[in-house]
Structure 1
Amino acid sequence: MIEEILLLSDPALIPDLKAVFKDANPRLRLLSIDTLDTLNTLENRALGNTRLISFGGELIVPAAFLNRLGGGAYNFHPGPPDRPGRYPSCFFIYDNGVQSDGDHPFGSTVHEMAAQVDSGAIVATDLFHVPTDIDRLTLDALSFQSMLTLLRHLAPALATDPAPLPRIDAVWSGRATTQRDFEALCHLPQDITEAEFQRRYRAVGEGPEHALNLTLFGHRFTLNNRHAGPKVTVGGKIR
């Protein structure tokens, strides 16, 4: 029987995640983990009846810690299996342009956590049609709802059964995008065309944490996006 779940996620999401798991197993202990230092405090703890769940979390868990978990570890990834890595929604919009033709679905993926990011065996996916002319904030919100659907479906097993979740036939594909890839996408070349600017702006321009930038004469300038306002997506909600 699973007795404890370690939750890795945005602090704003933790209360909702705890509620889902408590509904599935009222006796379950739930511990929020937000830093590697917090994880290290469990170094001497017995974890035989413990499972780790990362819900869109960014913390990379060391392989040695993963191996100690009797209930294993699972990550809810905010992108489909062909979009591993960081900021999958941004790169999806950038690669597919302004219009979505419906041939490239988006969604979310649940997989076993492994030493290499977004490489573990896949246990569930949820894919959806991408509306035409979508922006990043909307796609992130849809992806969050997709992840939440999978969480509610899998929570009874995750919160009680120590056996591994059944694997499915889906496999990862494509190169995993990195923070460096995202920063390169945000950095505008001085000779950028209007079409390329609009393409990047659509993919990453919204919000103070995802602003485009450029360098002129040795000085770095960040886009003050007054057109879209300072809205960001937190927990699938636009704020």
Structure 2
Amino acid sequence: MERTELKILFLGKANDTWTSKASKFIKQYTNDLEEYYGEWGTPYPESLKNWSGDLVISYLSRWILPESLLKSAKLAAINFHPAPPEYPGIGCCNFALYNNAAVYGATCHLMEAEVDTGAIIRVKRFPILECDNVSTLLTKTYDIQLSLFYEVMGEVLTNNSISLTDEKWSEKKYTRAELNALSEIKCNMSPNEVRKRIRATSFKNFQPSIEVGGYKFYFRSEQS
């Protein structure tokens, strides 16, 4: 395998199987790789203030990168977003399930100062099944995102160039506040609405809830 001379910065999610595989793939191509991993709440690495090089790769990274870092990449700053361009923002798979979307996927795009706005490099999609819940949809998404990563980065590191598609981001960007509101169950909601919200938000320790008489009760999907 021919190795690239590009200086690469890789930012990813800590203790994550898919991120580890992505990093391992990049290491096959370069000897000049700087890596940082974090969880939600992990402070942004101070040493990155002085970084400069050719390529920034964000893969499930928990940091919103400053414009100064993005501009420090001579070739490109690339992000892999675990959702199709119809779902920018937070809680994408949750809203896809709630909306009964037929298709989901992952997006590779150039990074701009505003999150989930950069030109789109490539998208991979797959069907959502009626039996899918948050857990199964996330697993499928991370699998296809890794496949997308292999395809795109293999081409970028071989050709030292970026090609773009005509795909466009949706103007609607989902927020943390909307995701939190989606997990709230109200007494006046129909049984169908309650089922939709449980399916869309029940995942591990994150469960939809209802408040009655000052007490909060949680709903848990049998498949979560």
Q: Give yes or no for TM over 0.5.
A: yes
Matching residue within 114, 117, 122 for 1:116: 114
Matching residue within 25, 45, 48 for 1:39: 45
CA contact (8 A) 1:135 1:202 kept: yes
Provide TM-score, normalisation by structure 1: 0.81
Q: Which residue of 2 aligns with 1:131?
A: 129
Matching residue within 66, 76, 80 for 2:84: 80
Q: CA deviation at 1:224?
A: 5.9
Q: CA deviation at 1:12?
A: 1.8
Work out the number of aligned pairs and report it.
217
Q: Which residue of 2 aligns with 1:29?
A: 33
Q: Does 1:225 align with 2:220?
A: yes
User: Compared with structure 1, are the counterparts of its residues 40 and 162 closer, same or farther at alpha carbon in structure 2 (3 Å cutoff)?
Assistant: farther
Offset from partner CA, 1:61-92 (integer Å, 9 cap, x none): 11122112223211111111111111211101
Q: Does 1:58 align with 2:56?
A: no
Matching residue within 163, 175, 180 for 1:178: 175
Structure 2 residues not aligned, in runs of 5+: none
Secondary structure at the aligned position of 2:75 is classed as coil
**For the residues of structure 1 that align with 2:156 and 2:106, how far apart are their CA atoms?**
17
User: Compared with structure 1, are the counterparts of its residues 22 and 85 closer, same or farther at alpha carbon in structure 2 (3 Å cutoff)?
Assistant: same
**For the residues of structure 2 that align with 1:217 and 1:168, how far apart are their CA atoms?**
53
Structure 1 residues not aligned, in runs of 5+: 232-239
**For the residues of structure 2 that align with 1:214 and 1:40, how far apart are their CA atoms?**
41
Q: Which residue of 2 aligns with 1:203?
A: 200
Q: Which residue of 1 aligns with 2:212?
A: 216
**For the residues of structure 1 that align with 2:180 and 2:62, how far apart are their CA atoms?**
16
Secondary structure at the aligned position of 2:93 is classed as helix
Offset from partner CA, 1:36-57 (integer Å, 9 cap, x none): 7443322133x133x2212233
Moved more, 9-18 or 183-192: 9-18
Secondary structure at the aligned position of 1:15 is classed as helix
CA contact (8 A) 2:44 2:63 kept: no
**For the residues of structure 1 that align with 2:166 and 2:221, how far apart are their CA atoms?**
45
**For the residues of structure 1 that align with 2:43 and 2:203, how far apart are their CA atoms?**
32
Secondary structure at the aligned position of 1:132 is classed as coil
Task: Tell me how large the CA RMSD over aligned residues is.
Answer: 2.3
CA contact (8 A) 1:3 1:160 kept: no
Secondary structure at the aligned position of 1:145 is classed as helix
User: Compared with structure 1, are the counterparts of its residues 152 and 37 closer, same or farther at alpha carbon in structure 2 (3 Å cutoff)?
Assistant: same
Moved more, 64-73 or 104-113: 64-73
**For the residues of structure 2 that align with 1:41 and 1:157, how far apart are their CA atoms?**
29
| Greater relative CO, 1 or 2 (CA 8 Å, sep 6+) | 1
Q: CA deviation at 1:162?
A: 4.7
**For the residues of structure 1 that align with 2:132 and 2:118, how far apart are their CA atoms?**
29
Q: Which residue of 2 aligns with 1:16?
A: 21
Provide TM-score, normalisation by structure 2: 0.86
CA contact (8 A) 1:52 1:73 kept: yes
AA in 2 matched with 1:40: E
**For the residues of structure 2 that align with 1:106 and 1:115, how far apart are their CA atoms?**
25
